[in-house]
Structure 1
Amino acid sequence: MSESSIRVQARLKDGITQVKALINHPMETGARKNAQGELVPAHFIEEVQCKHKDQLVMNAIWSGGISQNPYLSFNFKGGEVGDTLTVSWTDNLGKSDSVEAQIR
């Protein structure tokens, strides 16, 4: 992908890093029908991860029950201003994306 499907903000406050991520993804359950009455194939994110200093700080297992273009927010301890995090996802079709962001 030329432009990442993930937008991330990470801010440190009182020793806790708050990460906010918005992921551009269709998140189809496989149960919806299109205008012609045919089922739209399932296409959803299965796993989202965040790593800080090569350590996994967040892992989420998702299914088709998550809304289109999902928003995710979580906190972790141990980050410092200027540190880099990597947020990545993998979907049920084998597609994936990742992005790096600095803690501010």
Structure 2
Amino acid sequence: MPSYREEVDVVLRALADPTRRAIVERLAKSPAVVSELLAPLSMALPSLLQHLRILEDAGVITSTKQGRVRTATLQPGALDVLHLWLGEQRTPAERSADRLGIHLSRATL
């Protein structure tokens, strides 16, 4: 079982490439078949499949194949590990400001 920090490293490595980030941004809207993902990118199909494999190995996406059509889907919760890690990196002042904002919003209700 990978440790928490290893999970963060794997996801960050997968998202380090701008093409893979673009794929994730597209899949955040809805699942897509490979040809839809390939259309806006200027690359060959094998290159796209390599990017998809990296994202899938990192647990960021899943893919299914039905006949000759492969569909990629963003894995629910796959990026939560980054959200948790980023939250831990916040300074005490940022956390205090967040608590103050919550307090003020409750006070105006």
TM-score, normalising length from structure 1? Answer: 0.22
Higher strand fraction (1 or 2): 1
Larger Rg belongs to = 2
* TM-score where L is the length of structure 2: 0.22
